[in-house]
Amino acid sequence: MKFNILETGAFQSALVEFEHGEELFSESGAMVRASGNVEMDVSTRSRGKSGIMGGLKRMISGESFFVSTYKVGPGEKGEVGLAPVLPGEMKTISLDGSTTWVCSGGSFIAAGGDDVEMETRFQGFGNVFSGEGLFFLELSGVGDALVGGFGALHEIEVSGEFTLDTGHLIAYEKTLEYKISKAASSLTQSFLSGEGFVMKFEGHGKLIVQTHDVTGFGKRLGPLLPERE
């Protein structure tokens, strides 16, 4: 299975090539195109152990999370084109069996390979303020995963501590731990500063961040649109 990120600047997209026997799965809304021989199945279950999300859990971003799985018949090769929703870059994460990556719900695009497991982890009410969405996805096993975001994506090596504004997280290695805390010294300060809450990471591991905050953009554009029911 090959994951290719097409170099298109602000609007990266990905092309996945795979053959019979390999299984690829993606967030259903991410599919741009597929070669005619690809069989697609859409389900509400996430692949992997605990799995059942009920399919109707809506993330704060409003997208329901459906997973599409793609297969081709014996002796065949197929292609699937994938893209994120917003302008932005994509990144491939290599899963080599030794580490687990935790990916924010809205950033996940696709995963596949020899044996990739995906588990959803409900973030819990205490973390609802983080703006990341109600759940994270844990990816482990052997294979590759694709994430996409709003803005440029940067991989950061953390060793010690690192403070990330909520809304900028794409994914992190599970060797890192984080706490949600107020951005500034007091609650009032946090509110006035507009920074709200931050994720304070500790430990050693890699972090993938995005340069722009989807919530900030949504809040600017949303009020300009017609009202909804």
Angle at 105 between CA 62 and CA 209, to 5 degrees: 115
Q: Which stretch binds other proteins (CB under 8 A): 96-104, 107-115, 138-146, 216-224?
A: 216-224
Q: Measured between alpha carbons, how far is 107 from 146 in angstroms, rounded to an integer?
A: 9
Q: Which of 24, 26, 46, 79 binds other proteins (CB under 8 A)?
A: 79
Applying CB under 8 A, does 1 fall inside the site for other proteins?
no
Q: Measured between alpha carbons, how far is 203 from 74 in angstroms, rounded to an integer?
A: 45
Range 157-176, binding other proteins (CB under 8 A):
160-165, 168
Q: Which of 54, 74, 126, 226 binds other proteins (CB under 8 A)?
A: 226
Min separation Cβ 122 and other proteins, Å: 19
The 85-104 site mask, x for binding other proteins (CB under 8 A), equals: xxxxx---------------
Min separation Cβ 79 and other proteins, Å: 6
User: What DSSP character marks residue 45?
Assistant: S
Q: Measured between alpha carbons, how far is 120 from 173 in angstroms, rounded to an integer?
A: 15
Q: Which stretch binds other proteins (CB under 8 A): 40-48, 109-117, 120-128, 171-179?
A: 40-48
Token reading at 160: 């010690």
Cβ atoms of 16 and 144 within 8 Å: the answer is no
Q: Which of 22, 23, 26, 31 binds other proteins (CB under 8 A)?
A: 31
Cβ atoms of 116 and 145 within 8 Å: the answer is yes
Total of residues contacting other proteins (CB under 8 A): 79
- Count Cα atoms within 13 angstroms, Cβ side, for 172: 24
Q: Which of 65, 135, 136, 150 binds other proteins (CB under 8 A)?
A: 150
Applying CB under 8 A, does 124 fall inside the site for other proteins?
no
Applying CB under 8 A, does 128 fall inside the site for other proteins?
no
Q: Measured between alpha carbons, how far is 165 from 144 in angstroms, rounded to an integer?
A: 27
